[in-house]
Structure 1
Amino acid sequence: MPELPEVEVTRATLAGRLHGAVVRQARLGKPLRWPLGCVPEALVGLQAGEMSRRGKYLWLPLQGVQRTGGLLLHLGMSGSLGLDDAPPGAAAPAGPHVHFELQSDRGTLRLTDPRRFGAVVWSDGLGVDPAARLLARLGMEPFDPALTPAALRLGLRGRRTPIKTALLAGDVVVGAGNIYASEALFRAGIDPRTPCDRIGPVRCERLLDALRLTLGRAIELGGSTLRDFRDAHGMSGAFQDEAQVYGRDGAPCPRCGQTLRRIVQAQRSTYFCPGCQRR
């Protein structure tokens, strides 16, 4: 599913192209995870501000004379956003899995989501419901300067949960999806089964550095494409081609040569080296 790097790549490829766009028409397809929260016609005439990201959510502010707020978008498990730059009325026909379409004077924004776990929700602001409720449990952003090793350790303190499971939960730090959590833990030399409360200051610093390096590199490479993800230009990500442990069970560790293993944690596959990564 699209994780923080994929969502950030989507934001970066859309933000400048949509900024200042005026909505001409909005259309809904089959129902998504949550209802839009307003009639599509209420979006007509609104002008888009600069798109931003919080965790795996995208926020597209929209402003007009009668209404101000924005759309909170989530790509779900299989979604992607694309912008057809053709003039209104000249865009290519929507495919069968396009479940939200926003036509503007800058092109047509479409959410394509075969599994329909994504969402497009109107909110009068980020600080009010439903946006405030949906964002309330998110942890700190991985590149936020306020997220120090000490802050990370404080978030992990008292938890007996395995560190990989805690990273996936996203309530301490957002963005470490399954691929990136496995890769960051390998980079940091931490066994994914290690209880959170056994990770001291030194390893917290290594883990935070590893998370930032891993996520930063993934963003540089356009994210990961295992099945469905494409950025707003329709391009696939390439991080999966550089993965050192993810999907490589049975192969030799690139660091020590021991055989890489796969286990299941919280119903997700975890890949690690039993030699390099210590509990």
Structure 2
Amino acid sequence: MPELPEVETVRRGLAPAMENAVIAKLELNRPDLRFPLPENFASAVEARRIVSLGRRAKYLLIELEDDRTIISHLGMSGSFRIADETLGDFHYPRSKDGKHDHVVFHLVREGAPLRVIYNDPRRFGFMHLWKRSELDLYPAFAGLGPEPTGNALDAGYLAARFAGKTQPLKGALLDQTVIAGLGNIYVCEALWRSHLSPKRAASSLVTPTGRPKKELLLLTDAIRDVIADAIAAGGSSLRDHIQTDGSLGYFQHSFSVYDQEGKPCRTPGCGGTVARITQAGRSTFFCPRCQK
């Protein structure tokens, strides 16, 4: 499933085509994806201008001029592609099968028509329509923690959330009420960068007075850095994820521990081997030698 950097890559890829465009027609080729599409979806959004494209955690937000927002989740195999004569016809072989083109945005931008196509072979993605002024009331957003790219995430905040928590560090970081949008891949990579074991208690990074230890400062920086690096690389093209122009993300070529079981640890002078364990039903990759 795409994680935050993949969704942010999609947002950045779509923004030049979709922002300030008018939805001339919304073509719905089936009534549902993972869930039924919004009632009267086409009539509710047609003739509306797209004000901006945003993101909350792993959700893409298509914000319209009338206080409505299309909330889109890519699920396991969902992808958007841009197709028109001016911008080029961008495809990747996995998304060429037209029978999986379930939603087509027919847009007009600066007087020129273009299409943005949502393709989803497995149909685990979905689209909802919600008031932009009431996004905090959207069920999936209720209680979400701060974004890992925002100023609200700092070591002091994490110290407050980790204090007294005996939960393993890996599980605490995957808790979406602690940090929104941080997924398995990037938690593994951030823990490796900060040389912290995914098995140690979250509270071990907090002093008895509730202040962050130096290790927590390093972890906070590592989270920010790994997300920034992944976004810059276009995300990680695992299984079905591709960018909006059909090209692949390349951060997977920089994985230091994720999916690297049995390979030498990349920490200089470590000499350890990457191991895999299971935590809460998820695979965790780490170096037992240098991650303590």
TM-score (norm. length: structure 1): 0.90
Residue 228 of structure 1: how far off its partner (Å): 0.8
Residue 126 of structure 1: how far off its partner (Å): 4.6
Percent identity between matched residues is 39
* Paired position in structure 1 for 2:242: 230
**Which of 116, 134, 137 does residue 123 from structure 2 map onto?**
116
Alignment check: 8 A CA contact 2:173 2:182 kept: yes
Alignment check: 8 A CA contact 1:24 1:45 kept: yes
Q: Which amino acid aligns with 2:71?
A: L
Alignment check: 8 A CA contact 1:86 1:108 kept: no
Residue 73 of structure 1: how far off its partner (Å): 1.0
Residue 23 of structure 1: how far off its partner (Å): 0.9
Q: Which amino acid aligns with 2:6?
A: E
Cα RMSD, aligned residues only: 2.1
* Paired position in structure 1 for 2:108: 105
Ranges in structure 1 where 5+ consecutive residues have no aligned partner: none
**Which of 183, 208, 220 does residue 208 from structure 1 map onto?**
220
Aligned ranges 1:47-196 → 2 under 5 Å: 47-63=49-65, 67-86=66-85, 95-106=98-109, 107-128=114-135, 132-196=138-202
Aligned ranges 1:31-42 → 2 under 5 Å: 31-39=32-40, 40-42=42-44
Alignment check: 8 A CA contact 1:38 1:122 kept: no
Q: Whole-Å Cα distance in 1 between the matches of residues 138 and 181 of structure 2?
A: 19
* Paired position in structure 1 for 2:288: 274
- Partner secondary structure for residue 52 of structure 2: coil
* Paired position in structure 1 for 2:254: 242
Q: Which amino acid aligns with 2:56?
A: R
* Paired position in structure 1 for 2:209: none
Residue 175 of structure 1: how far off its partner (Å): 2.9
Which structure 1 residue ranges, 4+ long, deviate > 3 Å from structure 2? 90-94
Q: Whole-Å Cα distance in 1 between the matches of residues 219 and 135 of structure 2?
A: 33
Q: Which amino acid aligns with 1:232?
A: T
Q: Whole-Å Cα distance in 1 between the matches of residues 35 and 205 of structure 2?
A: 38
Alignment check: 8 A CA contact 2:135 2:141 kept: no
Q: Whole-Å Cα distance in 2 between the matches of residues 114 and 132 of structure 1?
A: 26
Q: Which amino acid aligns with 2:236?
A: S
- Partner secondary structure for residue 101 of structure 1: strand
Residue 152 of structure 1: how far off its partner (Å): 1.2
Between Structure 1 and Structure 2, how many residues are aligned? 272
Q: Whole-Å Cα distance in 2 between the matches of residues 29 and 161 of structure 1?
A: 45
> Relative to 1, partners in 2 of residues 1:134 and 1:29: Cα closer, same or farther, differing over 3 Å?
farther
Residue 128 of structure 1: how far off its partner (Å): 4.8
Moved more, 268-277 or 152-161: 152-161
Q: Which amino acid aligns with 1:276?
A: C
Moved more, 158-167 or 148-157: 158-167
Alignment check: 8 A CA contact 2:71 2:130 kept: yes
> Relative to 1, partners in 2 of residues 1:117 and 1:160: Cα closer, same or farther, differing over 3 Å?
farther
> Relative to 1, partners in 2 of residues 1:186 and 1:91: Cα closer, same or farther, differing over 3 Å?
closer
Alignment check: 8 A CA contact 2:234 2:250 kept: yes
TM-score (norm. length: structure 2): 0.86
Alignment check: 8 A CA contact 1:10 1:232 kept: yes
